[in-house]
A and B are shown apart, each in its own frame.
Chain A
Amino acid sequence: MPQGRAVNLAFYIVRRVLWMVPVLFFVILVTFSLMHFAPGSPWDQEGKQLPPNVIASLNQRYGLDRPLPEQFVRYIWSAIHLDFGLSYQYENRTVLSLILTGWPYTATLGLCAFLLIVPVGIGLGVAAALRQNTRTDYVVVGFSTLGASVPNFVIGILLIIVLSVDMNKWTSGAFWLPSGGFGLDHHLIMPVITLSVLPITYIARLTRASTLEVLRQDYVRTAWAKGLRERLVVVKHVLKNSLIPVVTALGPTFAFLVTGSVIVEKVFVIPGIGSTFVTAVSSRDYPMIVGISIIFALVVAVANLVVDLLYVVIDPRVRLT
């Protein structure tokens, strides 16, 4: 019988990865069924309709004239071979290539936002908890409430108006942020801020609540009584314990960020896959819908796995079973 934590860890990871297979199958099954239940076909248009013989040709091309169970089995078979089909909307382009083209933008944006959210959210939360009921606390809580109440497209558009259009006017074109588009430079500033505001607010609140609870614990009181410096108490004794619920929340937060915000991508014209998903649903682009759902399920599963592994690092009482 193999011994040692490292081997335990390896087995745990392998088991979790194997579990992803039935989960993905289930996700595909549910998505497939739901999208075919939605009324309307991919070929229904708003103005001029497609001629009936063209509709028949298209249905034949994409196998939509076959019974649903047969379509499902064919899809699973192709998916196993990493062939996720052709998009109905974007002729001649495969779902995989469309996802691979768009995802890097979404993921970069999401990653930058995450890298901003973690220190700022946790930092604000800890600061508020340590200075409970002082001005710092009120500012943080007030900002959190405001940030959570203003919809992110309002924040986005306000940023564009102030930092792009108005700044252009005030500085006579000398310095202003571009109103949209993607770039690994100042183009990122406004979309990342917009994407980060809401998550920062709830991470801050969560951290604050959790830290407050830990601060009341006896071992923390002991640390204060021993005369330890605040920084030492916080980092060595408080943080590790207060971060457990925060890490739990950060898992799905990361998943959502990295799979895209439709609104931010639309307002800032980022060619990512967030808006692709919504467009795919309204155009009934079935292969795209399932393809993106698979990606999303994978990202959530991996994020949850990472979170579970992080628990082991943070809290030695947690054992992998």
Chain B
Amino acid sequence: MIGVLACGPGGGGTTTTNLAKDQVLRYNIGVEPNSFDPGQQQYTYEAAVGRQAFEALLKPNKDLTDVEPATAEKYEVSSDGLTYTFHIRKNAKWSDGQPVKAQDFVYSWQRLIDPRLGAPYNDYYVFKGVDAASKLKASDPADKIDGALQALGLKATDDSTFVVTLAEPAPYFKWIATLWNGAPIRKDVVQKGGTLTDPKNTWATKPDTLIGNGPFKVTEIASKDHVTLEASSNYWGGAPTLKKMVFYEISDANADFAKYKNGEVDMNNVPLANTDLVRNDPQLSKELHETPQLGVRWIQFNNTKPPFDNQDVRMAFAKAVDRDKLAKDVFKGRALPISTFIPKGQSGNNPTVGGDPQKFDAAAAKDLLKKAGVTSLNVTYLVRNDTANQQIAQFIQDQIQTNLPGVKITLEVIDSKTVTSRLRQKNFQMYHGGWIGDYPDPQNWFDLFKTGSGNQFSGYSNKQYDDLVKRADVEKDAAKRKDLYDQAHAIIVKEVAGAFLWQGKNFYLLKPYVQNDTITPIDEWPGCYFSKNITIGQH
């Protein structure tokens, strides 16, 4: 809807009706999506396309405070929090005109759990029966797998009613229903590309068979060059004003920036090296939009081996890094310093939790190290081999060596997959990494430091923390939930589950003629959640 964009960090241009003849939006997603099947997608550059060609049950509102209807026009939760009933819009249609049915959601969500698909996000879908189904192997007999999938808590009581039964109450489940990989899939569409569970099935590789229910449909896949989407006239909300979107796959940031300057693309994610240039340019600075990301990075220590099995040593390191300087010198203002876990803009954000023990304090850091009985220390710092990560590591290395005399850090810069492989084997001492929220609920964050979590490799384990998070994840009362999470938050900050350092910021350039573009902190590209509203003014 035009005209509702006064607030928030988004919006490019005014709500004028001087529309350009060609309503085309061009953006560079940087990498070719590995797959166009939403069930198999996981990266932001894949969601960039997936979220436009397909639509999930719900979507976030623009402030990320709650969800709003998408393909489902409303939903109810039972009083015990276990049953979610989604009502599919009667006028929800696929791009080929067929109606979207509840059975399409049943099939799609069963498919996410099917071991023969190997969906990357299947650990997020926590309905009844998932535990048993996740023990299945792809080589198991087909009827055994199908039987387990049918036993999942997923039912279509009629064509427009999709009922999900959870294994245990989960107040954050409404957010799972906004994930783009939970979009419906039609069985007959998949069968057009081959047999249902065959990895050679090509339905998602060609525009003719890639039929989705989103506001746009994929009309051209030029491998390694671009993907073209066009407005879907069958979309329940009416065809978007934008007639066409072109997503380029340019991996070189300078080439992308050159294209923006030439007017060959309409939006740009500013390369870090060009930050100052853009800020100081009279024209470009007017086209700049800054948004905090819901992403935090920290130093991850190997808590299972010396020297970082000692909490005081970890805290000394955490206190030895000047985060303001990091944000200013390395990120040129494109980062927010943070010394707690939850980023600004995400509920649960609490900059003073636990007394903010990790904040920069070089003197206290030295004292702590002395208290730990450490006078000299040699540490190796595992770093992924791209320029950005190397610069960050060099800064951190310098800070720690300066503020903690006696500590010597050696950088080990290696190829990305080798780094992950070593992290898995706990063959490392320190490393920096982080998390970007998949959806704006604190559960997505706090689960990270539970014992046995597969998404961080410190080996951190605290039973009290596990217990608090477990209770908070299912707590329905908002105030109690916040309190539980705050207590858990205080624990990991005080015990240095990670040395939290910075929160990212997005710097987007938008041409002045890109109008009604609502930017949120979780965008894959600026305005992706509300692409139906975007218009192109005359230029």
Contact = CB atoms under 8 A, between A and B. Distances in A.
A305 to B, nearest CB: 31
Contacts of A267: 252, 254-255
A46 B138 contact: no
A160 interface: yes
A142 interface: no
A101 B200 CA distance: 17
Interface in A149-183: 157, 160-161, 164-165, 168, 176, 178-182
Nearest to B113: A53
B454 A61 contact: no
B78 interface: no
Given A41-B421, A164-B262, A179 B122 contact: no
Given A60-B139, A61-B118, A92-B200, A269 B454 contact: no
Contact of A282 (B40, B135, B225, B417): B417
A81 interface: no
Interface stretch (B201-209, B269-277, B494-502): B201-209
Contacts, number: 152
B134 interface: yes
A284 B417 contact: yes
Nearest to B120: A50
Contacts of B436: 47
Contacts of B159: none
B316 to A, nearest CB: 28
B262 A179 contact: yes
Given A46-B416, A269-B225, A40 B37 contact: no
Contacts of B119: 54
Interface in A49-91: 49-54, 56-58, 60-61, 86, 89-91
Contacts of A272: 224
B201 A271 contact: no
A49 B32 CA distance: 20
B455 A180 contact: no
Kindly name the residue among A50, A98, A161, A283 whose own CB sees the greatest number of chain B CB atoms within 10 A.
Answer: A50
Given A46-B416, A182-B225, A57 B204 contact: no
A268 interface: yes
A125 B202 CA distance: 52
Interface in A234-280: 266-269, 271-272, 275-276
B40 A91 contact: yes
Contacts of A61: 116, 118, 138, 199
B222 interface: yes
Contacts of A269: 225, 248-252, 255
A216 B294 CA distance: 73
B223 A98 contact: yes
B259 A92 contact: no
A216 B199 CA distance: 66
B205 A93 contact: yes
Interface in B314-366: none
A184 interface: no
Given A86-B199, A164-B258, A92 B204 contact: yes
Could you say which interface size class chain B belongs to? 35 or more
A176 B435 contact: no
Contact of A271 (B34, B37, B222): B222
A282 B258 contact: no
B370 to A, nearest CB: 36
Nearest to A58: B118
A90 B436 CA distance: 23
A123 interface: no
A170 to B, nearest CB: 13
Given A54-B118, A90-B34, A92-B205, A179 B259 contact: yes
B59 interface: no
Contact of A268 (B34, B202, B255): B255
Contact of A60 (B122, B137, B420): B137
B81 to A, nearest CB: 24
B424 interface: yes
Contact of A54 (B122, B252, B416): B122
Given A90-B34, A266-B251, A49 B454 contact: yes
A90 B35 contact: yes
B257 to A, nearest CB: 9
A48 interface: yes
A39 interface: yes
B455 A48 contact: yes
Contacts of B415: 40, 282
B260 to A, nearest CB: 10
> What interface size band does chain A fall in?
35 or more
A45 interface: yes
Contact of B116 (A51, A57, A102, A178): A57
Given A57-B137, A164-B258, A276 B224 contact: yes
A315 interface: no
A53 to B, nearest CB: 5
A7 interface: no
B115 interface: yes
Nearest to A53: B134
A54 B42 CA distance: 13
B63 interface: no
Interface string B38-49: 001010000000
Contacts of A51: 120, 122-123, 134, 454
B453 to A, nearest CB: 9
Contacts of A225: none
Interface in B224-279: 224-225, 248-252, 254-255, 258-259, 261-262, 264
Nearest to A283: B417
Nearest to B422: A39
Contacts of B422: 39
A230 interface: no
Contacts of B290: none
B252 A57 contact: no
A40 B420 contact: yes
A48 B42 contact: yes
Nearest to B262: A168
B367 interface: no
A161 B258 contact: yes
B438 interface: yes
A91 B118 CA distance: 11
A293 interface: no
B418 A52 contact: no
Nearest to A178: B264
> B199, B224, B252 — which one has the most chain A CB atoms within 10 A of its CB?
B224
A142 to B, nearest CB: 29
A271 B438 CA distance: 30
B199 A92 contact: yes
A274 B261 CA distance: 27
A34 interface: no
A101 B258 contact: no
25 contacts: A38-B418, A39-B417, A40-B416, A41-B417, A42-B417, A44-B420, A46-B384, A49-B420, A49-B455, A54-B123, A56-B115, A57-B137, A86-B199, A90-B34, A91-B34, A91-B35, A92-B37, A165-B261, A165-B262, A267-B254, A269-B248, A269-B250, A269-B251, A271-B222, A276-B224
Given A40-B417, A179-B255, 6 more contacts: A39-B422, A58-B118, A101-B223, A102-B224, A160-B255, A180-B258
